[in-house]
Chain A
Amino acid sequence: MTVKRAALIAIAVVLWACLPWLAPRYLIDLMVFAGIYTIAGLGVAFLLGQCGIVTLAQSVFYGIGAYSVAYFCAQKGLPSPVAVIAGVALSAVIATAVGWPVLRLSGYFLALATLALAIIGHVLFLEWDWLTGGTLGIGGIPHIDLFGLVLNSPQRYYLFVWPIAVALLWLHHNLVHSRNGLALRAMRDAPEAALVLAVDTHKLKVQMFVLSAMLGSLAGSLFAHYVTFVSVDSFAIDRAISFLLLAVLGGVYTVWGCVIGALFITIMPQWLSKLGDIHAFVFAAALIATVILLPEGFGGALQKWWRARATGRRTQS
């Protein structure tokens, strides 16, 4: 690592750590949601960017993680790690059971199948009110208690969530650049060639779908602990679409893209709300413009710019 790069990272870390004392509370609150959405969106971006799979089912796993915390912590009084692990494990089992047959489909058919899963999940969250509280939801979810430090403010939760998100991004980066990552890219770019090179593409797809579901569940658990109340409205189709949107906007081929995507979909609507009733229209126009002008997303555009700059410098020297 160059000195300049290390210095840039150090400055970013200091800025990040100081932000809770510098920025208004509402902005830190939005940053917490951006961190949670980064984790859920990472799963979606990973599937789309590395496996070529469009998933709209992430809201289901997000809901499972949240309801797991609500049920086990608020209703059964169990500690948070038990609830989080239960949610992640249940999501992994469901993702395996559903993914095994569904991931034999491809393209639009696969996207529609995951949409159907999101719809079924939402209906079940609504109908199984004995478990989920239905439209009334479940309240009284305890804040996370971190060795005696209760994470009951946006500032504290911000400092808790973002290191988790960054650690997961780093793991994702390592996975993409591992031997399994090579197999994923091979499967995405030339599936028949990957098969005849002895890559079990179906198994690989299912494994990655499960991984994505586990990320969705973890994000849902973090969401439930933060807002301390969950209801079915938080896990509808629009949530699934927003996860896909953040992945596409951020750029699915770069690891850090979904951070930018999450910040965009969390903070931009709030800023635009100052414009009054027209803000939804302006936000929609901004989305369309972004997709048209930056087809590789913000992350892809930034990466391209960075590489062009580096190439230019090399040419000059």
Chain B
Amino acid sequence: MLRVEHLEAGYGDVPVLKDISLNVAASETVAIIGPNGAGKSTLVAALCGLVQPRAGRILHREAEVTRMPAHQRARRGLGVVLEGRHLFGELTLRQNLTLAAAHARADAGAKPKIEDAIAEVLELFPFMRERLNDAVELMSGGEQQMVALARALLLRPEVLMLDEPSTGLAPLVVKQIMSTIGVLRSRGMSIILVEQNVALAAEVADRAYVLSVGRVVHEVAKGEWPRFLADDSLVKAYLGG
């Protein structure tokens, strides 16, 4: 579904990602884990088109998207929830959702009506039904994170990237978000989960790539989570735990 080959990217003259190669299959959940400053968020920014790579290739459904602008990647089905949520705070929840639904990917069969698409997403987040006319800036951090997730889902992505969705949230809210990710996974969506909390990532991800100083230093293969988590030396070496 998504393949990255020898990707290099950074900001200005500062290189951040060095020779990153990874792949995400259809219906697979892959975690990107690593300590602060490893380049996880830069990787997400490069994958969704907010940072232009200096070298390497990004392929979505075997078509190269490396130089494609961010809005076109979103239309192709690469959805993202950025770290820090980036909501349109002045707009109401309904307006946030409407804006996303209006730009939904059109090449996945008949595009549902905006109202129908919003109703579908509200099934996942029932609390939103009562808050549709509230300004998003007045919501709690957890609610805002769910709005960001709902907005990304309204684009009907094939691959959903989540950049640190649990940061700064109460354990109960984190549980709700992880449970939603579980639902999406069961529906066959490919998910890239960037997460600092390794135990949390292990709960939902099939596999993981460990990033350190801009490089993939380890790969946790399918079924290897228990061995990885049990090996303190591995966790300490890669994640500084």
Chain B's nearest CB lies how many Å from the CB of A270? 37
Contact A195 B88 (CB under 8 A): no
For B95, give its contact among A182, A193, A201 (CB under 8 Å).
A182
Q: Look across to chain A and name the residue whose beta carbon is closest to the beta carbon of B99.
A: A182
Question: Is B102 engaged at the interface, CB distance under 8 Å to the other chain?
Answer: yes
Contact B95 A198 (CB under 8 A): no
Contact A195 B98 (CB under 8 A): no
Chain B's nearest CB lies how many Å from the CB of A193? 3
Residues on the B chain within 8 Å of A198, using CB: 71-72, 74-75, 103, 105, 155
Q: Look across to chain A and name the residue whose beta carbon is closest to the beta carbon of B81.
A: A196
Contact B49 A179 (CB under 8 A): no
Question: Is A173 engaged at the interface, CB distance under 8 Å to the other chain?
Answer: no
Contact A192 B82 (CB under 8 A): yes
Residues on the A chain within 8 Å of B151, using CB: 197
Residues on the B chain within 8 Å of A129, using CB: none
Task: Map CB proximity to A onto B128-144 as digits: 1 under 8 Å, 0 otherwise.
Answer: 00000000000000000
Contact A182 B48 (CB under 8 A): no
Residues on the B chain within 8 Å of A179, using CB: 98-99, 102
A195, A199, A200, most chain B CB atoms within 10 A: A195
Partner-contacting stretch, out of A130-138, A164-172, A183-191: A183-191
Interface size class of B (residues with CB under 8 A): 20 to 34
Contact B74 A197 (CB under 8 A): yes
Residues on the B chain within 8 Å of A201, using CB: 71
A189-B74 in contact given A196-B48, A198-B103, A198-B155 (Cβ < 8 Å): no
For B99, give its contact among A192, A195, A197, A200 (CB under 8 Å).
A197
For B87, give its contact among A182, A190, A196 (CB under 8 Å).
A190
A185-B71 in contact given A179-B98, A196-B80 (Cβ < 8 Å): no
Q: Report the separation of the CA atoms of residues A241 and B167 in the bound assembly, to the nearest whole angstrom.
A: 45
Question: Is B70 engaged at the interface, CB distance under 8 Å to the other chain?
Answer: yes
Task: Map CB proximity to A onto B93-131 as digits: 1 under 8 Å, 0 otherwise.
Answer: 001001110110100000000000000000000000000
Q: Report the separation of the CA atoms of residues A44 and B70 in the bound assembly, to the nearest whole angstrom.
A: 28
B69, B80, B89, B99, most chain A CB atoms within 10 A: B99
For B70, give its contact among A182, A186, A195 (CB under 8 Å).
A195
Q: Report the separation of the CA atoms of residues A12 and B165 in the bound assembly, to the nearest whole angstrom.
A: 53
Q: Report the separation of the CA atoms of residues A200 and B68 in the bound assembly, to the nearest whole angstrom.
A: 12
Question: Is B90 engaged at the interface, CB distance under 8 Å to the other chain?
Answer: yes
Q: Which of A216-243 contact B (CB under 8 A)?
A: none
Question: Is B50 engaged at the interface, CB distance under 8 Å to the other chain?
Answer: yes
Residues on the B chain within 8 Å of A193, using CB: 82, 86-88
Contact A186 B99 (CB under 8 A): yes
Question: Is B229 engaged at the interface, CB distance under 8 Å to the other chain?
Answer: no
Q: Report the separation of the CA atoms of residues A180 and B31 in the bound assembly, to the nearest whole angstrom.
A: 36
Question: Is B91 engaged at the interface, CB distance under 8 Å to the other chain?
Answer: yes
Contact A195 B91 (CB under 8 A): no
Q: Report the separation of the CA atoms of residues A201 and B90 in the bound assembly, to the nearest whole angstrom.
A: 18
Residues on the B chain within 8 Å of A196, using CB: 48-50, 70-71, 74, 79-80, 82, 152
* Residues on B facing A (Cβ under 8 Å): 48-50, 69-72, 74-75, 79-80, 82, 86-91, 95, 98-100, 102-103, 105, 151-152, 155
The contact sample of 12 A-B pairs, CB cut-off 8 A, is A179-B99, A182-B91, A182-B95, A186-B88, A190-B88, A192-B70, A193-B86, A195-B69, A196-B48, A198-B103, A199-B71, A199-B99
